[in-house]
Amino acid sequence: QVQFVESGGGLVQAGGSLRLSCVASIRSFSQATMGWYRQAPGKQRELVATITRLANTNYGDSVKGRFAISRDNAKNTVYLQMNSLKPEDTAVYYCNFGPVGGVPWGQGTQVTVSS
């Protein structure tokens, strides 16, 4: 059964950092393109970053230069290092297949950035 479990969110001041983790219970994780997504209150879910099986990465314009996605295939885990956080980064963060996601979605992890 496909399952994504996100963790690592929290409350942080603007300019701070957080590292999110996602354990993916999927077959052939090492072959999958993975992505981090986020959804702010009242907004649609948006793609934040993707990483291919060859570790090629891609980022949304709003996070380029601040966020870094990585993966550990031995642990079926994808990470999102978030630096220089801004209040507009406040959202629930999810991981899923990249770049369009699929079903099911995990419960996500809340990131709140205070000004």
pLDDT tens for the chain, residues 1 to 115: 889 999 999 999 999 999 999 999 998 999 999 999 999 999 999 999 999 999 999 999 999 999 999 999 999 999 999 999 999 999 999 999 999 888 899 999 999 999 9
* CA–CA dist 57, 104 (Å, integer): 23
Q: How far apart are CA 35 and CA 58, in angstroms?
A: 9
Of the chain, the end-to-end C-alpha distance in Å amounts to: 40
Measure the CA–CA gap between 60 and 56, rounded to whole angstroms: 14
Residues 31, 74, 37, 101, CA torsion sign:
positive
CA–CA dist 86, 99 (Å, integer): 24
Around Cβ 53, how many Cβ atoms within 10 Å?
14
Specify the 3-state DSSP secondary structure of 31.
helix
What is residue 103's predicted lDDT score, i.e. its pLDDT? 81
Contact by Cβ (8 Å): 70, 59: no
Report d(CA 83, CA 68) in Å as an integer. Answer: 8
